[in-house]
């Protein structure tokens, strides 16, 4: 977290939290009451001070105040930041680079999810086609478009299929998952709400 945020937390430890204002969409954009935040310095500030509590609720620590985040799907959105012919490099929507991909899933809606050292996140829909050259078979070989389409169909139907992602020196297995099961499996609250009896702040 930013030093100014830590100082604010120490000085005013009991500021009521904010719910229902800030959200994260499936393309990694921050929105305030449905309006996209476009200023790069503001989005970078939010990203640097984006954390989760013990209940699995993600929030932006705005000085002494927690602003809880409602998310359209996952807590992170991953973008491809490498050139098309280069080894795969990924970055969080918060601007942090990805060093390790630990696991992957394709959900019933065709969204690709990755578990990294940062947490669970979806691959930005505009980057999915750029990811295809890095998807491989069990032997590390490339997949034709027709074979890849068949594998995607099987996974979306919750049937096993032989698919891996090549990331750095690792081959990461891609498995099937139901989108409805994602928050529970990965321990996050997609839509935090004001607890009963807690002072509201707006």
- Provide the CATH number for the domain around residue 45: 3.10.540.10
pLDDT in tens, 84-94: 989 999 999 99
112-116 and 120-123: which strand pairing? Answer: antiparallel
Q: pLDDT 10s per residue in the chain (202 long)?
A: 555 545 444 444 567 789 999 999 999 999 999 999 999 999 999 999 999 999 999 999 998 899 999 999 999 999 999 999 899 999 999 999 999 999 999 999 999 999 999 999 999 999 999 999 999 999 999 999 999 999 999 999 999 999 999 999 999 999 999 999 999 999 999 999 987 766 655 5
Q: Are residues 111 and 167 in the same domain?
A: yes
6, 62 in Cβ contact below 8 A? no
Q: Are residues 137 and 175 in the same domain?
A: yes
Q: What is the pLDDT of residue 17?
A: 87
pLDDT in tens, 109-149: 999 999 999 999 999 999 999 999 999 999 999 999 999 99
The end-to-end CA distance of the chain, in Å, is 23
Q: Is residue 165 one of the residues assigned to a domain?
A: yes
Which residue bears the tokens 């034709």?
144
Structural domain for 31, as ranges: 3-73
Q: Are residues 39 and 54 in the same domain?
A: yes
Counting the structural domains of the chain, the total is: 2
């Amino acid at each position: 977290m930013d030093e100014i945020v830590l100082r604010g937390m120490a000085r005013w430890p009991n500021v009521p939290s904010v719910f229902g204002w800030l959200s994260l969409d499936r393309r990694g954009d921050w929105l305030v009451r449905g309006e996209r935040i476009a200023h790069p310095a503001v989005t970078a500030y939010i990203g640097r001070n984006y954390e989760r509590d013990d209940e699995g609720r993600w929030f932006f620590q705005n000085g002494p105040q927690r602003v809880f985040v409602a998310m359209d799907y996952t807590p992170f959105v991953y973008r491809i930041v490498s050139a098309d012919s280069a080894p795969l490099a990924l970055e969080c929507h918060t601007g942090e680079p990805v060093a390790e991909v630990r696991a992957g899933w394709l959900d019933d809606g065709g969204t690709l999810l990755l578990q990294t050292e940062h947490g669970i996140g979806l691959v930005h829909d505009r980057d999915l086609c750029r990811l295809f050259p890095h998807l491989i078979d069990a032997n590390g070989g490339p997949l034709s478009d027709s074979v890849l389409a068949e594998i995607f169909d099987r996974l979306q139907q919750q049937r096993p299929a032989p698919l891996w992602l090549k990331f750095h020196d690792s081959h990461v297995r891609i498995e099937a998952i139901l989108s409805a099961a994602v928050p529970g499996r990965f321990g996050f609250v997609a839509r935090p709400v004001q607890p009963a009896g807690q002072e509201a702040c707006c």
